Amino acid sequence: MDALDILTDLENVIPFFQPIFSADEHRIIAYEILGRYQTEDGPISLGPFFQDKEIPDEYRLEVDLTVLEKAFKKAVHLEKDILYFINRDAELLIHDEDERLLELILSYGEQGLSPRQIVLEVCERNADGELEDLDHLLRYYRTYGLKIAIDKMGNDSSHLDRISQLEPDILKVDLQVMKSTAAGPAYQNILFSLSMLARKIGAALLFENIETVFQLQFAWRNGGRYYQGFYLKEPQADFLDRGILKERLKQECHEFILSEKKKIETLFSLRDEFQGKVQETLNRNRKIEGYTELLEILAKELDEMAFRMYICDEDGFQKSPNLFKEQNEWIIQPEYVEKNWSWRPYFLENIIKMRNERKGILSDRYNDIETAVAIRTFCLPINSQEFLFIDLSSSYLFAREGLF
């Protein structure tokens, strides 16, 4: 595709619109505006044109503004709660010294298209060392009511500190990585970090490149409020009925809910099972005063389920040694006595919860620091001051439906 051919034929530069669906309403809540070039064989994407750094900025900007102006002319007639995502290269945004993009957006405000309907979608990794300039510029645009989305999230978490400072309205997570074998526990951890960050700064998560129902369920389970991808709808030349997928999404969401409920019920069942089994063992051995002896008795009862157990006081100081299963043999690790675990997330909160409710707690899944294996921990109050911790083996959890 020759850049000059496009620049001299702007009449055939046209906008396409990819719908974005909401999790709460199951209907179209926004459109991403994409550039296309009409050829004899049909429209082709202008993505390569916009991404080609060898094409001068002013050429790329000219074509981009042409796409947007044609899109805005169509959009002024739609409902006023629909958002429009503009995907803008960070470097091009910084070099738009005449503020032609902002001028175009504000000009359509007089025709009924509010700047508050515009979401400026930026991939900050393209800022090429001009991150501070980008931050200032995005804050400037927000003073006019524009929303900010940070694109290409989900591949790493190296910019979480900067994103936290910028406080964007939307974090856009690319699910393309799920096609790769690299989308394992590390990717899950990154998404967990993103979901926590989004919650803290009041941002919504938008999952893009959804191509299968599995990816849609994945987005739903990981806190996605907005969904976009070919599984839902491909980019279109015109706008669609906002409720076009309402019944389908409602049904799929219902199936996701049933699956998640089943998983939660399995977790509660496992917790109750451990509560009964461990409590019964403790009741039978009330006269035993030594921590190690008590743990050895529990190890015999839970040999196929656990690989580590220990006892802490209410402040998180370990009162017993570790009893650790290594090559099918339980060994004593006395070096752990008096180590303190209160620094762990939710540790003290769980201690208080167990003491008040007098019930055990089954943790969420996490990677064990020492073994690097995904596990869960069951903890139970022995009395008002001592608490038993049992790390469950991954092989046992894998065999339980819904736990991995």
Residue 117: predicted pLDDT? 97
* Per-residue model confidence (pLDDT) at position 98: 87
* pLDDT given for residue 186 in this prediction: 67
d(CA 213, CA 231): 7
pLDDT in tens, 266-295: 889 989 988 999 999 989 988 888 999 999
**pTM attached to this predicted model:** 0.86
- Average model confidence (pLDDT) for the chain? 89
pLDDT value, residue 93:
86
Instruction: Give the pLDDT confidence score for residue 114 in this predicted structure.
Output: 96
pLDDT score at 244: 97
pLDDT at 384: 86
Other Cβ atoms within 10 Å of 327 Cβ, number? 5
Instruction: Enumerate domains of the chain plus CATH numbers.
Output: 3-231+245-259 (3.20.20.450), 269-399 (3.30.450.20)
Q: Determine the pLDDT at residue 213.
A: 95
Low pLDDT (below 70) residues in the chain: 1, 124-130, 153-162, 179-186, 401-404
- pLDDT at position 238, please? 96
Give the bridge partners for 35, in sequence order: 15
Strands 147-153 and 118-123: parallel
In this prediction, residue 370 carries a pLDDT of 86
CA dihedral over 19, 20, 26, 28, signed as positive or negative: negative
Q: How many CA atoms lie within 13 A of 319 on its CB side?
A: 17
